[in-house]
Amino acid sequence: MLASNHASSYYRATATPYEPHAPLQGRQAARVAIVGGGYAGLNTALGLAERGVRDVVLLEREQIGFGASGRNGGFVFAGYSLGEQSLLDQLGEARAQALFGHTTAAVQRIRERVAKYAIACDAVDQGVIWANWFRDPAVLRRRQQLLARHYGVDWQWLPQDELRGLVRSERYHDALYERDALHLHPLNYAIGLATAAATQGVRVHEHSGVRGLAREGTQWRLRTDQGELLADQVVLACGGYLAGLRRSIDRAILPIATYVMVTEPLRERMDACLHTQAAIYDSRFAFDYYRPLPDTRLLWGGRISIRNRSPRAVQRLLSSDLLRVFPQLQGIKIDYAWSGLMSYARHQMPQIGGSGDGLWWAQAFGGHGLAPTCAAGELLAAAIAEGDDGWKQFADYGLSPTHRPLGYLGAQASYWWQQGHDWLKTRLEG
């Protein structure tokens, strides 16, 4: 039976049980209030706790990991939604390297935290394969050289015969292998971060949507359905699920939907498609991404759109994508399908900043959020706890408006244009 909503997504169905965090009640005070229980909020909370700031309250409208953080593909790798070449063009080598370096450090920090806090999130530290959909190897060669020359990162070349030994698909030509990457159960990782933060004194409250935010003297007053919180500093970390608290912060985001499904356990049929534990995505703009799960299921994701789709529609779309790559899986059942919202800025970089009066934000991580949210949490925690100004490295990537709803049309048109470009290239290559 196809799961019909997020509550019964594969991740929810296999979530680590935990004592629910009670809603905020009555009048309370804290040094720091964090709004949003996704990775951006959780990493900031944990970063603060690790720096000895205990007086922190995290408020989540639904449950921990309700948003993108509990629904995503689970790929943990360095970099941002904005490509490495664009980062270089926009910032020059030294600054681009510094920003990229935050995400390589974050990949390592995620490994260390998963181990340190014993987060049971099925982490598979076997790298990620970037498979070439096209015959022309130039794009791969260029990226491999760029990463080595300017970022000091080594992605290994996989010729076609080697790749086919790992991924049994006629669809790909060759690939690059990013060894310093992993994949994990994203919701259990989020739940683990919340538990680690709570254990160190952070007060986590679920079902505590913040409905009002007002300046009061030198402090901020946050209002939920059942409670009020007075805080010196506030961090808004609500991603594509929009906090609805500050117009300038919400309108800097375009929420974009993307889709995931999970097959039934494939058992020995897994051998017919994958001989690797690495996660895989391809070289098109609108790429497929997939990875084997511990119980021999295949998790498959892809497509982006300006609208959420029903689980049945997601299943239909993604199944046809899957069968193009692995026709040998014809007839397999899909047990779960769902969608989630990513948050994009026009500049495709995270928006990490503060307004100087105790209000901070961390959003716009796009489809590349696992490592950058960890980096953002560190930067904001260091800013709040120690007055560190490392977050200013993101100053070029501000809260420029996305002009919804027109911005949606622009995003959808650009997606279709790129998709059309990839389709044409595939046809021309025969």
Ligand X SMILES: Cc1cc2nc3c(=O)[nH]c(=O)nc-3n(C[C@H](O)[C@H](O)[C@H](O)COP(=O)(O)OP(=O)(O)OC[C@H]3O[C@@H](n4cnc5c(N)ncnc54)[C@H](O)[C@@H]3O)c2cc1C
Query: What residues make contact with ligand X under the rule CB under 6 A?
Result: 35-41, 59-62, 66-69, 71-75, 209-210, 237-241, 243-244, 258, 260, 301, 340-342, 363, 365-370, 373
Backbone region of residue 323 per phi and psi (left: phi > 0; alpha: psi in -120 to 50; beta: other values): alpha
**Closest distance between ligand X and the C-beta of residue 159, in Å?**
26
Q: How far apart are CA 183 and CA 278, in angstroms?
A: 8
Which residue lies nearer to ligand X by CB, 172 or 361? 361
Q: What does the DSSP 8-state code read for residue 306? A: S
**Closest distance between ligand X and the C-beta of residue 338, in Å?**
8
Which residue lies nearer to ligand X by CB, 153 or 173? 153
**Closest distance between ligand X and the C-beta of residue 274, in Å?**
17
Backbone angles phi, psi at 227, to 5 degrees: -155, 175
**Closest distance between ligand X and the C-beta of residue 38, in Å?**
2
Which residue lies nearer to ligand X by CB, 103 or 144? 103
**Closest distance between ligand X and the C-beta of residue 107, in Å?**
10
**Closest distance between ligand X and the C-beta of residue 318, in Å?**
11
Burial bucket for residue 402 (CB in 10 Å: 0-12, 13-18, 19+): buried
383: number of CA atoms within 13 Å, CB side?
Answer: 27
Q: What is the DSSP string of 125-136?
A: -S-EEEE--SS-
**Closest distance between ligand X and the C-beta of residue 259, in Å?**
6
Task: Report H helices in 51-137.
Answer: 84-91, 93-116
Which residue lies nearer to ligand X by CB, 35 or 359? 35
Which residue lies nearer to ligand X by CB, 260 or 325? 260
Beta bridge partners of 338: 260
| Cβ neighbours for 106, distance < 8 A, ≥ 6 positions apart | 78, 371, 372, 374, 375, 378
Look up residue 182 and give its two tokens. Answer: 């992993």
Which residue lies nearer to ligand X by CB, 130 or 137? 130
Burial bucket for residue 202 (CB in 10 Å: 0-12, 13-18, 19+): buried
Which has the closest alpha carbon to 210: 230, 198, 231, 225? Answer: 225
Which has the closest alpha carbon to 306: 340, 342, 256? Answer: 256
Which residue lies nearer to ligand X by CB, 173 or 288? 288
Burial bucket for residue 175 (CB in 10 Å: 0-12, 13-18, 19+): buried
Closest CB to ligand X: residue number: 369
Q: How far apart are CA 68 and CA 298, in angstroms?
A: 19
Which residue lies nearer to ligand X by CB, 75 or 394? 75
Which residue lies nearer to ligand X by CB, 311 or 367? 367
- Provide the strand spans (E) within 240-395: 254-263, 279-282, 288-292, 298-305, 334-344, 351-354, 359-363
**Closest distance between ligand X and the C-beta of residue 240, in Å?**
6
**Closest distance between ligand X and the C-beta of residue 301, in Å?**
6
